[in-house]
Amino acid sequence: MEPLPARTERPRPARGVLALVAVVAIGGLVRDAIQLVPWRKSVETRRIDDEFAELIHALPPDRELGIVVDEPLDLNVTYRHARWALAPRVLHPELSDPGVRYVIAALSDPARVEELCRRRGLRRVASFNGNALLLLVREGS
């Protein structure tokens, strides 16, 4: 009688480790899916470049600009957006660099703009986004 062909046994995974893998993977993936909804609602999707498009069009070719905002620069959203949209221009706080001619102002209080212009010898060149962004220039430039 001819011998029957050899049989290959099906591999059996180690159950304990696979159970742990299942706990980690299924738990994590379900949580991924659940977290998706609140995450989407909290995301800011405004396109920063659009916000600054008109201002960029009106800007002179100066490499360095000043910027004035309501809060310290590190905390201010408009400053972050300006830094992104205006790259590779270098933004100086206010007029700290004497070589800077143009200043971008994003101040919530219009009275502060007038006070700034008087104090630093600036005049308004143009406004954008309903006065949310102002382009100022040093008098005599």
Partner 1 sequence: MTILSLVVAVAAIVSMGSAAVRALGPGAGDPFERALRGLLAIVLGLGIWSGAYAVARFVGVASGLVVLDLVLAAAGVVVLVRFRASPTEPGRGLPTAPLWLGAALVVAALLVAAIFATLTAGAPEGVDDAWIMWTLRARFLARDPDLHHAFSDAAPLWHVDYPLLLPGLIAQGWRVLGGESCAVPILIAATFTGLAVATLTAAVGAERGGASGLAAGLTVLGAPILVFVGAAQIADVPFATFLLAGGICLARAFAGAEDRGPVALAGLALSLACWTKNEGAIHLIAFALVLAILKGRRHLVAFGLGALPVLLLLAWFKLAYAPRNDIVSGLGAGSALSRVAEGGRYREIGKALVLEPWAIHHWSFFPAVLPLLIVALRRRRRAAGWSGAGAVGLALAFSWAAILVTYLLTPYDTRWHLASSLDRLVTQSWPSLVLATFLALPPLTAAPRVSAPTPGRLS
Question: Which residues contact partner 1 by CB under 8 A?
Answer: 1, 3-14, 17-18, 20-29, 31-33, 35-36, 39-40, 43-45, 47-48, 63-64, 67, 73-74, 80, 83-84, 87-88, 90-93, 97
Q: Nearer to partner 1 by C-beta: 30 or 58? A: 30
Q: Nearer to partner 1 by C-beta: 53 or 73? A: 73
What 8-state DSSP symbol labels residue 1? -
Q: How far is the CB of 94 from partner 1 (least distance, A)?
A: 12
Q: Nearer to partner 1 by C-beta: 76 or 129? A: 76
Q: How far is the CB of 36 from partner 1 (least distance, A)?
A: 6
- Could you tell me how many residues make up the chain? 141
Q: How far is the CB of 119 from partner 1 (least distance, A)?
A: 21
Are the CB atoms for 117 and 82 separated by under 8 Å? no
Q: Nearer to partner 1 by C-beta: 32 or 71? A: 32
Q: Taking Cα atoms as reference points, which of 138, 133, 141 lies closest to residue 54? A: 133
Q: How far is the CB of 111 from partner 1 (least distance, A)?
A: 26
Q: Taking Cα atoms as reference points, which of 134, 141, 137 lies closest to residue 82? A: 134
55-94 b/e (C-beta count within 10 Å ≥ 16 → b): beeebeeeeebbbbbeeebeebebbebbbebbeebebbeb
- Distance CA(77)–CA(82), nearest Å, equals 9
Q: How far is the CB of 79 from partner 1 (least distance, A)?
A: 8
Residue whose pair of structure tokens reads 């009275």 in the numeric block: 111
